[in-house]
Structure 1
Amino acid sequence: MAPYLGRDELVQRQIDPGALKPAYDYIVVGGGQSGLVIANRREELPSNGLVQRDLRSTARAREQNKYGLICWVRKTNAYAYKATVYAAAVIGGGSTINGMFFERGSAEDYDNWEKLGNAGWGILGASALFQEADANITWDASVYGTDGPIQATYPPWVWPGTKIQFKALNEVGVPTQFEAAGGKSYNAYWVPSNVDPSGRRSYARNEYFDPAQSRPNLSLLVNYRVNEVLFSSTKHAHSVRIQARGTANGAPTITVSANTEIVLCAGWLHTPHILQRSGVGPKALLTAAGIPVISDLPGVGSNLQDHAPIFIQFAYTTDVFPNPSSLQTNATFAAWAEQQWTQLREGPLSLTTGNSVGAIPLTTMNPTGYQAIISKALAQTPATYLPKAYTAEQLAGFIEQRKLLTASYGSSTNGIFEVPFEGSASAALCLEKPMSRGTVTLNTTDRYAEPSIDFNTNINPVDVDLTISAARFYRTWMAAPSMQQLGPTELSPGTNVTTDAQLSTWVSSGMGSSTAHSCCTAAMMPQNLGGVVSPDLLVHGVTGLSVGDIFGHPADPCNAHMRDGLCDCREGGGFDQGKSGPRGILNYQYE
C-alpha cells in the first residue's frame, strides 16, 4: 500500500518556476489520472517534467462530496438550455473527487474501439492490460490483477432494499451477472469501489504520484497553464509555452523544451483547446482566430459526448428499514452509522456512490420497439443532426460510429442506459450511447479564454426515443412483484404522462447534458474518418506529440465507465489498474 502523503508533503515536492530545467525528455501536460500514470511509468528515463494546473487532495472514501468546489465551473450554451460543466483541476484529476464507482465496459464496447481502425484496442487487448478488482456479492478473481497499484473493494454494507431491487430486475427480464468486469458489464451487477481495505480512496495521486516522491527525475509544477505547444519547421513538437494561471494575456511566459515527446493529458476540455491554440485543429477555426495552421485536423474539439441524465422520481410508501433516507430521518441510526465508520470503517458510510447498477440493453427495455429506433437512426441524413462545421471526413467517421452504435442497440449483451440503484426509489437514467454530438472550440477573439462548449444534448431525436424507452422500462421495474412490498409511487414524470409525445416533452425539458463524463474530443480514429490520434496515440500530421486522455474512465466521476466505445484515445489510469482486495459483504447488523 502506498503511503498517504498530506498536503504539506505534496507541496514540498512542487518546484518553483525558477527551478525549471530548460529541457526535459518528456513533458506531460496535466496531472490527472492519465498524466500521473504516464509520468510514473517514465521513471526509468533521466528527466521528466509534469506540468499541472492546481493542487488539492482528499483522503477518505466517504469524503467524496466535500471537495466539489475544487472543480472549475463553466457555463455553456447547451442545446436549448444552460448547463454547468465541471473539469477537475487537481492532482489526480477526476479520480481525486469522483464517486469511486469502479466499473468497466462490455466486451462489445472495446471491440467497437478496434473496429474504428484501432488495432489492439479490442477486448482481447484491453483484458491483457486490465489488472484491478463483491450479501451475496459474487466476483471472479481471474479478471482482476494482484500487482498493480489501484485497489478495488466491495464495501461491507448493502441496503436491504437493494436486494429487493435486484430480485425485481430479475422478474422483468434482467438477470444478475456473476461477474461483470470480465467484459460482461450489462444487465444487473455489483460494482466495486476504488477504495482500499482500510476505507481509503485508492486513486491516481496516492498510488501513482506519492510513491514517486524520492525520484529526482520527476518535477511537478502547478498553477501554470499551457498556452500552446511549439513546433519546428518540420512540424515536430519541441516545446510548451506556459503562463501563471490567473494572469492576464500578455503576462510573462516560460518556454520549456522536450527532447523526446510532449504528452497532452489535459482532458476532454483542455486537450483540444491546447491543440487548437497550437495550430492543430479545424483550418477554418484556426484561420478565424489568426492562428497559423500546423495540421488541419477538423476532428479536434468535435465528437463531444457525455452520459446525459434524466431523473425519474418515485417514492416508497412502505420502505424497509434501514434505508438510505434513514441517515437523515433517524438520529439513532445516523449515530450508529457514524460509529461504525469511525471505529471499524464499516456500515452505511463505507458506501461511496453505491455498488449496484443496471446497464440495460435496448432489446430488454423496448423489446417490441427497438428495431424501429434502429431503423430511424439508419435512415437519417447524418448532417441534419451534426454540427454544421463537420467535414466530409467527419461525416464518414460518424457513419462508421453509427453502424456500431445501432448494432449495440440491437444487442442483448450491451447496456444502452445505466441505472445506478442502492435501495432508493428514484434514480438517474443515464444514456450511455448517444447519437448526438457536440463541440469544444476556442474563442476566436480571445484564444486564451475558456473554450466554448456545446453539448447538443438530444439534438438527435433518436436520443429522445432511447430515453422514453428507459423511462417506460423503469416503470415496468417498479411494477415488478417484488417491488410491491415497498409501495412504489410515481412522482415524476407522473402517472398522467403516458404518451410518447408527453414523455418527449418531459425528456426535452428535464434531461441534463452531463454526468461529468464528457469525452471523445480528440478521437482515436483514422484521419480520413475525422480522427485526431492514431492507435499508438500520436497526433496525426505532426511528430513528437501524443494524447494520453480518455474521458476519465475508468476514472471518470463514476470511475470506470468505458462503455462509450466510440470515444477518445486512451485510458491512462484505466489500463494500469492494479490490485484487488475484495472486502466482501460482512454480516452487518444494526441494533
Structure 2
Amino acid sequence: MMAPYNSFQAALVGLLCLSGVSTSLTVPAFDSISHSQIFERGEDLGAEYDYIVVGGGTAGLTVADRLTESGRYSVLVIEIGRYENGTSVTTASQGIYGFLDSTLQFNIPSVPQADLNNRTIGVIVGKVLGGSSAVNGLQVMRGQKADYDRWNKYFGGGSWGWNAILPYFKKAWRLYPPTPEFVSTNYKVKWNTKYWGSVGKLAASFPKYAFPFQNELLKAMDEIPGVKFAEDSGSGDVGVWWHPSSVDPATWQRSFARPAHWDGVETRSNYDTLVSHKVTKVIFQGTTAKGVQYIPASATTLAGARTVRAKKEIILSAGTIHTPQILQASGVGPKALLRQANIPVVKDLPGVGANFQDHWFQLGAQYTFAKFRPTFQGPNDLYSNATFLAEAQAQFAQNFSGPLSIASGSAAGWFPFRTIAPDTYKSIADRYEAQNPAAYLPPGTDKTVIAGYQAQKKATAALLRSKDAATYNLFIRGDESEGGPVYLHPVSRGFVNINPADPIFAPPLVDYRALSNPADIDILYEFTKFTRKFYAETSIKKWEPVETAPGLGVTTKDGVAEYMRATLTPSVFHPVGTASMLPLKYGGVVDQKLKVYGLKGLSVADASVMPDLPGAYTQETAYVIGEKAADLIKARA
C-alpha cells in the first residue's frame, strides 16, 4: 500500500472537508451492537448458503440485508476488510477520517498516465465492512433524470430510467429537512420531501450552520444566465443545490451501509458475515457458478484456501476495481488476457475490465479572495484560530450546531455544458461525435467494446448539447479559497485488468487513460474560461478574487492543456463501468437484471455496472443498485 496521506489526498480533503478537527463523539462498543453473525475464521462458516455476496460494501450490505429480512434465504457476505467501529468511520463532523486511515482503504498505484506526464495516480477505494460509504466525503446527491434514462436507451428501453429508480432512491434514504434557522439565514435553501422516503435506513440531513461567505458566492451564481436553483438536490434537475450529507442528526455520526444494513438487522440466524477474507475466484460447473474460493486477506499463497457453495446465486459486490479482477481470475473476461495469464476460459466477455471511468478534479481556475479577511470566517479558521475552534467545539457539544455540524461542502452548482457559448459547445459536441470510435481506445480493443463506445459517444454528444444534464460541478464552501471544478462526464476511457503474471495476489492494473481523448481538453479549456467568468464578471468580483492556478497568464488552450497534464487528478473516488450494464453487442457484462451474460447463478451489484457516470457523486446511486438488485434477485429465486 502506498503512503497513507499524499498530496492527492490532501487536495481532496481540502476540497471536501476539514478532517483534522476532533469532536470527541461517543461511539458504541462493538459488543453492544446487534448485527449479522460475524466470523473472522473461514473454518467457522457453513458449507453452503442460498446466496453468497462477495463484498460487504455500499451495495453488498444493502443486497444482503434485503435478501435476509424475510428469513426465507440464507446469505453469506465475504468482506476483505475488517470490522471497524472507531471514530475513523463513525465521526461525521467536519471530516472523512477514514480517508486518512490507510488501513481502511486500498491505495493502488495506477499505471503511469501517458497523457498526464507519466504520473501515477493513487486508486483509492474502501477496505472495511461498509466499503467506501464508510470513508467517503458524505455527500448525498444523485444524477440527473437524463443520466438514468440514458442507461435505458442503450437497451432501447427497460427498467433503469429515472421514473423506475426514483422509488429506490426514496426507499434507501430518509430526509431530515433543514432547521428554520438554517433556511432563514442562508441563500435559497430548497428541498422537497416528495423526492425522499420517510422510513429509509440511511439518514440524509443538513448542517445547522453555513459559513457566511457561501451566501455571497451563491448570490453570484444566481447571476449566471440560464442557471437555476433546483427545488431539491434529489429532483434530478440541473442547477444549484444545497445538498444534504449522510449524517444521522440524532447522534451526528456517519450514516453508512454498515449501521444501516448490518448493525440494525437484529441477529438473523440466516445471515453470516466473514471479514478479513479475500475471494480469489468463482467456482464454475460448466457455465454455472456453484461457489467461491477464499483465503485470509493477509495470505500470500493459496495454501489452505477454502470453498463455500451457493445454492441459488453468487452476487459480486467487490466494487469497480476488484469485481473485474475476480471475474477475470475466475475465467470470465477477454480471452486473450485470460490465456496470457494461463487461466482457463469459462466465458469470453471482452467488456470485463473495459469502459473504466471516474470523475476528475484539480482542474485549475482556483482563487483566493483578497478582501475575505477579516470580513468573514471560513473553514480554515478552524485550523488557524484557536478561539474560533473552541467556540465551535462548545456549540457542537451543546446541540450539534455551529461550524462543526458541517460534514461536507453543503452547496454546489451543477451546470450543463450549454452554459458555454452555443457555437462553442455545439462545435465540440459535433467534433467529438464524428470521431472514429476506435481511435482513442487501447489498441486491440474488441469490436463489441468499440461499438459500445460509439453508442456512448452519441449519447455524450447529446448530453453536451442538452440543458438537462450536468457536465460541470463547482462546490461552494464559503472559504477564502474557492474554485477547482469537477468534470462529471470525461470522454476518455480506461481499463482495470488482472496482472497476468500474478492475477490473484498482485493488485489489478488500473489505467485511467486520462486525456487520451483530445475532446476532454476541448471541454476542460471551456471549463477554465467559464470559471474565470464566474469569479471575474459577477458580483463576487468585489471581493477581489486572485487566481492562484493556473494563473491569468495561462490563456491559450495549449497552455491550459499543459497545466492539466501536470496537475489533473482523474479520480474523485467514483470509479464505474468495468462490468457494464450494456447490451452484449456493446461490450456489456451484465444485462438489465444484473445477470452476467452467458453464465448462470452469477450477478453483479455494485458501481461497476454503471455504463457511464451519473452527473453527480455516486454514493446514492450505489445504494439504489443494491436495493434494486435485491428485488431482481428475489424475483428469480
TM-score by length of 2: 0.85
What is the root-mean-square deviation in Å for CA atoms of aligned residues? 2.3
Offset from partner CA, 1:425-460 (integer Å, 9 cap, x none): 323321111110001111111111111010001100
Offset from partner CA, 1:534-588 (integer Å, 9 cap, x none): 00000001000000111599999955375xxxxx997226999xxxxxxxxxxxx
Q: How many angstroms does 1:144 deviate by?
A: 0.8
1:533 aligns with 2:590: yes
Whether contact under 8 Å (1:94, 1:556) holds in the other structure is: no
Paired residue for 1:550? 607
- C-alpha distance in 2 between matches for 1:556 and 1:227: 33
Paired residue for 2:460? 405
- C-alpha distance in 1 between matches for 2:429 and 2:329: 39
Whether contact under 8 Å (1:299, 1:531) holds in the other structure is: yes
Whether contact under 8 Å (1:517, 1:552) holds in the other structure is: no
- C-alpha distance in 2 between matches for 1:393 and 1:552: 16
Please point out which of 127, 152, 160 is paired with 1:89: 127
Please point out which of 42, 52, 57 is paired with 1:27: 52
**AA in 1 matched with 2:501:** T
Whether contact under 8 Å (1:550, 1:572) holds in the other structure is: no
Paired residue for 1:415? 470
Whether contact under 8 Å (1:327, 1:333) holds in the other structure is: yes
Paired residue for 1:560? 619
Stretch moving more, 494-503 or 129-138: 129-138
Structure 1: give runs of 5+ residues left out of the alignment: 563-567, 577-591
Paired residue for 2:17? none
- C-alpha distance in 2 between matches for 1:421 and 1:248: 45
Secondary structure in structure 2 of the residue aligned to 1:152: strand
Stretch moving more, 172-181 or 430-439: 172-181
Paired residue for 2:10? none
**Number of residue pairs aligned between Structure 1 and Structure 2:** 567
Offset from partner CA, 1:3-29 (integer Å, 9 cap, x none): 985345569942232221111110000
Change (3 A) 1:42 1:470: same
Whether contact under 8 Å (2:143, 2:617) holds in the other structure is: no
- 1:404-443 equivalences under 5 Å are 404-424=459-479, 425-443=481-499
Paired residue for 1:156? 208
Stretch moving more, 111-120 or 63-72: 63-72
Whether contact under 8 Å (1:493, 1:506) holds in the other structure is: yes
Whether contact under 8 Å (1:158, 1:348) holds in the other structure is: yes
Please point out which of 354, 363, 369 is paired with 1:302: 354
Please point out which of 306, 323, 327 is paired with 1:275: 327
- C-alpha distance in 1 between matches for 2:488 and 2:212: 28
Offset from partner CA, 1:32-54 (integer Å, 9 cap, x none): 01110111011123421111111
Please point out which of 276, 291, 306 is paired with 1:223: 276
Whether contact under 8 Å (2:574, 2:618) holds in the other structure is: no
Paired residue for 1:130? 169
1:241 aligns with 2:293: yes
Change (3 A) 1:248 1:325: closer
Paired residue for 1:511? 568
Whether contact under 8 Å (1:550, 1:570) holds in the other structure is: no
**AA in 2 matched with 1:354:** G
Offset from partner CA, 1:161-215 (integer Å, 9 cap, x none): 111111111212222222231211x221111111122222111110110012411
**AA in 2 matched with 1:37:** T
1:287 aligns with 2:339: yes
Whether contact under 8 Å (2:36, 2:271) holds in the other structure is: no
Please point out which of 80, 88, 109 is paired with 1:53: 80
Please point out which of 99, 119, 132 is paired with 2:158: 119
Please point out which of 2, 14, 26 is paired with 2:38: 14
Stretch moving more, 506-515 or 61-70: 61-70
**AA in 1 matched with 2:150:** N
Please point out which of 403, 408, 425 is paired with 1:348: 403
Secondary structure in structure 2 of the residue aligned to 1:494: coil
Whether contact under 8 Å (1:95, 1:559) holds in the other structure is: no
Offset from partner CA, 1:131-163 (integer Å, 9 cap, x none): 123524111111111121111111111111111
**AA in 2 matched with 1:156:** K
- C-alpha distance in 1 between matches for 2:396 and 2:472: 33
Q: How many angstroms does 1:275 deviate by?
A: 0.2
- C-alpha distance in 2 between matches for 1:544 and 1:124: 29
- C-alpha distance in 2 between matches for 1:147 and 1:6: 26
Whether contact under 8 Å (1:101, 1:559) holds in the other structure is: no
The structure whose RCO (Cα within 8 Å, separation 6+) is larger is 1
Q: How many angstroms does 1:507 deviate by?
A: 1.6
- C-alpha distance in 1 between matches for 2:336 and 2:420: 43
Secondary structure in structure 2 of the residue aligned to 1:522: coil
Q: How many angstroms does 1:352 deviate by?
A: 1.6
Change (3 A) 1:570 1:398: farther
Q: How many angstroms does 1:343 deviate by?
A: 2.0
Q: How many angstroms does 1:514 deviate by?
A: 0.8
- C-alpha distance in 2 between matches for 1:302 and 1:285: 12
Secondary structure in structure 2 of the residue aligned to 1:171: coil
**AA in 1 matched with 2:75:** N
- C-alpha distance in 1 between matches for 2:191 and 2:624: 26
Paired residue for 1:588? none
- C-alpha distance in 2 between matches for 1:415 and 1:472: 17
Paired residue for 2:428? 373
1:207 aligns with 2:260: yes
Paired residue for 2:111? 77
Q: How many angstroms does 1:84 deviate by?
A: 0.7
Please point out which of 189, 194, 199 is paired with 2:246: 194
Secondary structure in structure 2 of the residue aligned to 1:50: strand
Paired residue for 1:583? none
**AA in 1 matched with 2:127:** A
- C-alpha distance in 1 between matches for 2:208 and 2:394: 14
**AA in 2 matched with 1:346:** S
Stretch moving more, 522-531 or 341-350: 341-350
Stretch moving more, 83-92 or 500-509: 500-509
Secondary structure in structure 1 of the residue aligned to 2:138: coil
Secondary structure in structure 1 of the residue aligned to 2:205: coil
Change (3 A) 1:488 1:100: same
Whether contact under 8 Å (1:281, 1:296) holds in the other structure is: yes
Offset from partner CA, 1:289-348 (integer Å, 9 cap, x none): 111111110000000000011243211111131222222232221111111112211111
Stretch moving more, 106-115 or 376-385: 376-385
1:496 aligns with 2:550: no
1:317 aligns with 2:375: no
- C-alpha distance in 2 between matches for 1:163 and 1:434: 30
Stretch moving more, 124-133 or 262-271: 124-133
Stretch moving more, 523-532 or 171-180: 171-180
Whether contact under 8 Å (2:497, 2:509) holds in the other structure is: yes
- C-alpha distance in 1 between matches for 2:614 and 2:266: 23
1:145 aligns with 2:197: yes
Change (3 A) 1:376 1:569: farther
Change (3 A) 1:205 1:531: same
Paired residue for 1:467? 524
- C-alpha distance in 2 between matches for 1:501 and 1:97: 37
Whether contact under 8 Å (2:143, 2:616) holds in the other structure is: no
Change (3 A) 1:52 1:99: same
Please point out which of 166, 176, 179 is paired with 2:232: 179
Whether contact under 8 Å (2:190, 2:241) holds in the other structure is: no
Offset from partner CA, 1:489-545 (integer Å, 9 cap, x none): 111111111112211211222111211111110000111110000000000010000
Whether contact under 8 Å (1:78, 1:457) holds in the other structure is: no
**AA in 2 matched with 1:127:** L
TM-score by length of 1: 0.92
- C-alpha distance in 2 between matches for 1:216 and 1:130: 28
Whether contact under 8 Å (1:13, 1:213) holds in the other structure is: no
Stretch moving more, 400-409 or 362-371: 362-371
Secondary structure in structure 2 of the residue aligned to 1:105: coil
